[in-house]
Amino acid sequence: MLEKTVIVWFRKDLRLQDNLALYEATKENNVILVYIHAPDEEDMGMGSAELWWLHHSLKALQEELQNYHVPLILRKGSSQEVLQQIIKETNAAALYFTKRYEPQISERDQQISNLLTKQGIDVQSFHSNLLFTPGTVRNKQGNVYKVFTPFWKQARQQVVEKPVPKPKHITSKLPSDFAVGQLDELGLLSAYPWSDKFNRYWNPGEKGAYTKWRDFSQDAIEHYDDQRDIPSKEGVSKLSPHLAWGEISTRSMWYQSKEKLDLVSNEEGEGDRYKQIESYLRQVVWRDFAYHQLVSYPHVINQPLKDAFRAFPWLKNTEALERWKSGMTGYPLIDAGMRELWETGWMHNRIRMITASFLVKHLLIHWLEGAAWFRDTLVDHDLANNTMGWQWVAGSGYDASPYFRVFNPILQGEKFDKDGDYVRKWVPEIADLPNKYIFSPWTAPEKVLTQLGIKLGQTYPDRIVDHKAARERALMAYYEMKEIKNM
């Protein structure tokens, strides 16, 4: 006999495996599975690329639920109003959901929980999208970690809750006149036809996520530390969009990686394999670190974590910003990264750091401008990670790269794209240049450029700034900020 009707409110946990809210709700209950599209309730809105991903992720979830003969209820509008309406229509007695930790979302969830509890609804929230509940990994003084390495060391000692399996069965009985809702009615796909491109690169949904994880964990993870900074190689997992929408459980990834580490540690002479796998686990924990920072300092989404940077003399330069966005800066490594982003909705992490540094240091444009562009064009946009990444590059976050460390896009190319394969792929106008000129085409003799049909300023743009001059200007701005702070 079914105990009660429980609404399971899907959000950024679009999976059946290790979904605690779903797992607990399906224990002898009638379950109503719901997704509510409420973009205005998000802290910084939602970008077009991530909405494309959401559309296809919801479609994949619907298909997976067909195996259980259960519909996914789709609605658009105020989360509170929609939930109250569904409770009324289905006579539901409980609401279960996975916790989210973005400031505005967290506040909204608390308001909904308080209201429904007063109305006699059993509201339960579950932690299953991160390894650790934000704020629980603290130092000996009980304070939040501001530096990642000690956070990582402490996290390694923490107990990660074991993942739960998929439900064996889901019972979902709806009133005969209840409207399920259609995916297209949510209006997730923008006027810009992202799908023409993205379908070639991505397979959203839980099944795609676990297929990608299986392939990566069987081989590439054992070369991860050696190859993760080389953008021309398939050295990273590319699981970030799946993680952003909760299509795969980090706890499952953690335990499977730990099992692999335990096996490797017992094999003689396997220290390098251990290092490779552990390096990947560090990146998984870095994602947790971003959420710990977000919960502890919620203002970081639009304010510098270090107060001194409130006085930084950022420049307004619309033309320079547009050239950066479109991959037309004249610096091939920067342009390759920005074009990869526009084409695929994703960018290699090493290149993210270099392109972001170029914006805030070479061009002196506020990091919020870059964060907004990434938010609109990344299929893996995640508020905590995007914010932390930009504050790290800008030097305004904790455990950040010092502002006075200015990446040289030429040397970075020579170091991480040694043969120019990445640049040649994304900047075909200069693909025939010899390696010695591929990262700085303006240094090529005019004869070489003419022979290859390259005319700087026409077939490929002149560089937007001189690196040396831009570096000096950035350092002057930094010291100006410090003087203002000390006045």
Where is pLDDT greater, at 268 or 461? 461
Does residue 31 belong to any structural domain of this protein?
yes
| Whether residues 250 and 224 fall in one domain | yes
Amino acid at 446: E
| Whether residues 289 and 246 fall in one domain | yes
Question: What are 118-146's pLDDT values in tens digits?
Answer: 999 999 999 999 999 998 999 889 888 98
Does residue 194 belong to any structural domain of this protein?
no
Task: Give residue 358's pLDDT.
Answer: 98
Torsions phi, psi for 204 (to 5 deg): -60, 155
Task: Give residue 401's pLDDT.
Answer: 80
Q: What is the mean pLDDT of the chain?
A: 94
Task: Give residue 269's pLDDT.
Answer: 56
Domain containing residue 482: CATH number: 1.10.579.10
Question: What are 433-466's pLDDT values in tens digits?
Answer: 999 999 999 999 999 999 999 999 999 999 999 9
| Whether residues 135 and 262 fall in one domain | yes
- CA-to-CA distance for 375 and 302, rounded, in angstroms? 13
As beta bridge partners, residue 9 has 34, 97
Task: Give residue 268's pLDDT.
Answer: 57
How many Cβ atoms are within 10 Å of 215's Cβ, its own excluded?
13
- CA-to-CA distance for 434 and 430, rounded, in angstroms? 9
| Whether residues 343 and 460 fall in one domain | yes
Domain count, the chain: 3
- CA-to-CA distance for 279 and 10, rounded, in angstroms? 31
Question: What are 215-229's pLDDT values in tens digits?
Answer: 999 989 999 999 999
Considering the entire predicted model, what is its pTM? 0.95
Question: What are 371-416's pLDDT values in tens digits?
Answer: 999 999 999 999 999 999 999 999 998 887 888 889 999 999 999 9
| Whether residues 55 and 65 fall in one domain | yes
How many Cβ atoms are within 10 Å of 265's Cβ, its own excluded?
12
Question: What are 294-331's pLDDT values in tens digits?
Answer: 999 999 999 999 998 999 999 999 999 999 999 999 99
Q: Report the percent of the chain where pLDDT is more than 70.
A: 98
| Whether residues 1 and 67 fall in one domain | yes
Task: Give residue 267's pLDDT.
Answer: 66
Task: Give residue 192's pLDDT.
Answer: 77
- Give the end-to-end CA distance of the chain in Å, rounded to a whole number: 72
Task: Give residue 487's pLDDT.
Answer: 45
| Whether residues 120 and 139 fall in one domain | no
Does residue 200 belong to any structural domain of this protein?
no
- Give the pLDDT mean for 196-224: 94
- CA-to-CA distance for 132 and 129, rounded, in angstroms? 9
Task: Give residue 299's pLDDT.
Answer: 95
pLDDT at 7 over 70: yes
Does residue 171 belong to any structural domain of this protein?
no
- CA-to-CA distance for 291 and 199, rounded, in angstroms? 30
Query: Any residues with CB less than 8 A from the CB of 325 and at least 6 apart, and which?
Result: 338, 373
Question: What are 87-115's pLDDT values in tens digits?
Answer: 999 999 999 999 999 999 999 999 999 99
Strand order in the sheet with 5-10: 73-76, 30-37, 5-10, 94-98, 122-126
Query: Any residues with CB less than 8 A from the CB of 191 and at least 6 apart, and which?
Result: none
Does residue 169 belong to any structural domain of this protein?
no
Domain containing residue 273: CATH number: 1.25.40.80
| Whether residues 460 and 328 fall in one domain | yes
**Which stretch of DSSP H or E encloses residue 74?**
strand 73-76
Task: Give residue 399's pLDDT.
Answer: 82
Q: What is the DSSP letter of 377?
A: H
| Whether residues 391 and 346 fall in one domain | yes
Q: Which domain holds residue 60?
A: 1-129
Q: Report the percent of the chain where pLDDT is more than 90.
A: 86
C-beta separation of 230 from 86 below 8 A: no
Domain boundary pick from 296, 319, 342? 296
pLDDT at 231 over 70: yes
In Å, how far from its chain's centre is CA 254? 18
